[in-house]
């Protein structure tokens, strides 16, 4: 049971992270790359820094490392947190960008749960 549940949590976390990255409006890719999964506690800080209205120094390593860590996830390691600490992610979710609908975060998570359920049904 624990092994099955661990795999299910890891797979759902991966799918959610990837879908959020895909669904996040893209200007500088700063908000997209800041969907970071972390085991045991939320990621602190940001993946890079926003340097201007249309520029940013992007660091993809935290997201990639977080996704990679899910491969070895076990329930006894703690909860999985998926956070985005970019200062404007909530504004984007409220419909500030024409690239994504209002509440795209919630819609992305619901879609991820459905996708994960279809994988389990195979």
% helix, strand, coil for the chain, step of 5: 55, 10, 35
Coil, helix or strand at residue 22: helix
Q: CB 27: neighbour CB atoms within 10 A? A: 17
How far apart, in whole angstroms, are the C-alpha atoms of residue 85 and residue 88? Answer: 8
- Which regions in the chain score pLDDT beneath 70? 1, 120-122
State the pLDDT at residue 120. 65
State the pLDDT at residue 121. 59
State the pLDDT at residue 62. 95
pTM: 0.91
Q: CB 88: neighbour CB atoms within 10 A? A: 16
Q: What ranges do the domains of the chain cover? A: 2-120
State the pLDDT at residue 61. 93
Q: What tokens does 45 get? A: 């800080």
């Amino acid at each position: 049971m624990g092994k099955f549940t661990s795999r299910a949590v890891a797979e759902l976390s991966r799918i959610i992270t990837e879908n959020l990255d895909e669904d996040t409006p893209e200007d500088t890719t700063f908000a997209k790359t800041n969907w970071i999964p972390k085991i045991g506690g939320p990621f602190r800080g940001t993946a890079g820094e926003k340097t201007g209205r249309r520029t940013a120094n992007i660091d993809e390593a935290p997201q990639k490392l977080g996704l990679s860590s899910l491969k070895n996830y076990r329930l006894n390691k703690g909860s999985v947190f998926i956070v985005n600490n970019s200062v404007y992610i909530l504004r984007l979710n409220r419909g500030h960008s024409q690239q994504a609908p209002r509440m795209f975060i919630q819609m992305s998570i619901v879609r991820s749960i459905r996708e994960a359920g279809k994988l389990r049904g195979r």
